[in-house]
């Protein structure tokens, strides 16, 4: 199973969402696209990697980097995830991820921080 990106449709959905929420970017911010691997290791597949690399190298998209986050909730309700940095015409690189131990809300949301080690490259 896979998904097909439709940037024009995604932009319309984002524009609609931000219009409905008063363009409150301090509260709502579009981090990007992600997907889970619920039944196997949360590592990018070859197709994931090829897709992300093609997006970051597409001048029509206009981004200079992407971070692909793939989470998985284990049967013990532990969060496992990976994050990989993609830049144009360079080899993808894993990004260190820090997950806080305790849920941060009553709904059980987790705080996830991507290490900033890739920013100054």
Query: pLDDT for 13-42, tens place per residue?
Result: 888 888 998 988 777 766 666 677 777 888
Give the separation between CA 69 and CA 43, rounded to whole angstroms: 9
Backbone angles phi, psi at 20, to 5 degrees: -70, -25
Q: Are 69 and 86 in contact (CB under 8 A)?
A: no
Q: What's the mean pLDDT in 75-86?
A: 81
Asked if 83 and 97 touch (Cβ cutoff 8 Å), the reply is yes
User: The whole model's pTM is what?
Assistant: 0.63
Helices (H) and strands (E) in the chain, counts: 2, 5
Higher pLDDT, 59 or 117: 59
Using CA atoms, how far apart are residues 43 and 46, in angstroms rounded to an integer?
Answer: 10
Mean pLDDT, all residues of the chain? 75
- For the chain, domain boundaries: 32-118
Q: How confident is the model at residue 121 (pLDDT cuts 50, 70, 90)?
A: very low
Contact status, residue 96 vs residue 84, Cβ threshold 8 Å: no
Q: Which residue did the predictor score with more confidence, 51 or 108?
A: 51
pLDDT, position 50: 92
Per DSSP, what are the bridge partners of residue 118?
A: none
Question: Please, are residues 32 and 67 in contact by the beta-carbon 8 Å criterion?
Answer: yes
């Amino acid at each position: 199973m896979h998904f097909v990106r439709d940037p024009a449709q995604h932009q319309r959905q984002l524009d609609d969402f931000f219009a409905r929420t008063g363009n409150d970017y301090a509260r709502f911010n579009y981090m990007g696209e992600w997907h889970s691997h619920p039944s196997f290791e949360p590592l990018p597949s070859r197709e994931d990697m090829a897709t992300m690399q093609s997006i970051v190298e597409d001048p029509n998209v206009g981004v200079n980097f992407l971070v692909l986050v793939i989470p998985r909730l284990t049967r013990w309700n532990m969060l496992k995830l990976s994050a990989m940095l993609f830049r144009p015409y360079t080899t993808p690189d894993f990004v260190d991820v820090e997950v806080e131990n305790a849920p941060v809300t009553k709904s059980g949301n987790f705080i996830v921080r991507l290490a900033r080690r890739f920013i100054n490259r």
